[in-house]
Amino acid sequence: VAGAGYEVVVGPSLLDRLDALLAPHSATGYAIVTDSTVERHFAAPVLAQLQRLAPAFVAAFPAGEWNKSRDTWAGVTDQLIQHGLDRAGLIVALGGGVVGDLAGFVAATYLRGVRCAQVPTTLLAMVDSSIGGKTGVDTAAGKNLVGAFHQPVAVLADVDTLRSLPAVHVAAGAAEAIKHGVIADPEYLDRLLSAAPAIRQRDPAALFEAVRRSVEIKAAVVTEDEKERGRRAILNFGHTVGHALETAFGYELLHGEAVALGMLAEARLGAAVGVTAPSVAERVAVALETFGLPMEPPGALDLERALPAMQHDKKVRAGAVRFALPKALGEMARDAEGAWTLAVPSAAVRQVLSEWSR
């Protein structure tokens, strides 16, 4: 896929030729950073291939969002030091978004920065988190509060790895693909919904098409605005409420599920303040249902917890909560100054979310 500023390869059987794909980025050594689940599935063959190129080792940490932490960052960094990975070494982030964010942050900081290749193995990581160079870890106060921009040298998305991905994670990844359709390409959204049964059965051709188009959309937005000073903010559609839901419900909600619900709430919010065509929320609801995503949170939403979480969000400017809102399918709204986020009165936010607080 062109346009990301680095090579993004999407296809089947990439893990079988990782050595050939990574050889052009010649390195003095390879650190395969992964989590315990992905390690079980894929680490051995990847290690064997990379050892043909240079010394290689696996640095694994226990799977789970709660391990995307500063402690894990320190533990993985220590492993790199022990193995003596030098500045010409390469970190291979093998796994989902948790691995990609964590390994990317290790790469951004280890020896003041070493190169990193993203090898995503979840649908969410393929369509979204492996592209764009955002890396980081969570803290008790909120998600992704510590991190860095660190672009990978290559992204290699092998859709065959998705065969073993649990169904809930297929749906969670589809949420970010739905977002790409809503913010940039309504025809893609239509194609995604028609392909939903095939995607849910992990049909390689259907997965390939979705990953390819999502990568194109995300890459086009982030290359234009690498550090999120402008239009990149449109990728945050669904994420302001989504992050608040993640804070309120902890690990009961997957990131993709929280974004799915966030899109529904934000489309309704946009309609309530007269920015978003009501048909957007209707289409989002159909999309969530089609992919078996949740249509409401797992319990009553505590507004006193959720609303302050939005104030903590990095998308808050000058005290007002700002949202990336669609005007219509495929068309994002701008404010009077041309910004891609709009300030919304907190009373309106409270009103829309109160439906979930009972």
Ligand X SMILES: NC(=O)c1ccc[n+]([C@@H]2O[C@H](COP(=O)([O-])OP(=O)(O)OC[C@H]3O[C@@H](n4cnc5c(N)ncnc54)[C@H](O)[C@@H]3O)[C@@H](O)[C@H]2O)c1
Give 115's strand partners: 90
- Nearest approach in angstroms of CB 55 to ligand X is 25
Tokens coding 201: 């059965």
Tokens coding 296: 């409401």
- Nearest approach in angstroms of CB 79 to ligand X is 18
Among the options 68, 115, 134, 212, which is catalytic? Answer: 134
Residues 250-289 within binding reach of ligand X (CB under 6 A): 254-256
Nearer to ligand X, 7 or 160 (CB): 160
Burial of 19 (0-12, 13-18, 19+ CB in 10 A): middle
Q: According to the binding rule CB under 6 A, does residue 134 interact with ligand X?
A: yes
Q: According to the binding rule CB under 6 A, does residue 68 interact with ligand X?
A: yes
Q: According to the binding rule CB under 6 A, does residue 244 interact with ligand X?
A: no
- Nearest approach in angstroms of CB 15 to ligand X is 10
Of 101, 216, 228, 266, the one binding ligand X by CB under 6 A = 101
Active site residue 134: yes
Q: According to the binding rule CB under 6 A, does residue 98 interact with ligand X?
A: yes
Tokens coding 90: 């390469």
Nearer to ligand X, 17 or 41 (CB): 41
Active site residue 25: no
Of 1, 8, 50, 97, the one binding ligand X by CB under 6 A = 97
What string of H, E and C letters represents the secondary structure of 154-194? EEEEEHHHHHHCCHHHHHHHHHHHHHHHHHHCHHHHHHHHH
- Nearest approach in angstroms of CB 168 to ligand X is 9
Active site residue 239: yes
Q: According to the binding rule CB under 6 A, does residue 182 interact with ligand X?
A: no
Of 79, 122, 151, 290, the one binding ligand X by CB under 6 A = 122
* Positions of E strands within the chain: 7-11, 30-35, 56-61, 90-95, 115-120, 134-139, 142-149, 154-158, 321-323, 326-328, 331-332, 342-344
Tokens coding 356: 């979930």
Of 37, 79, 247, 290, the one binding ligand X by CB under 6 A = 37
Active site residues: 112, 134, 176, 218, 228, 232, 236, 239, 243, 255
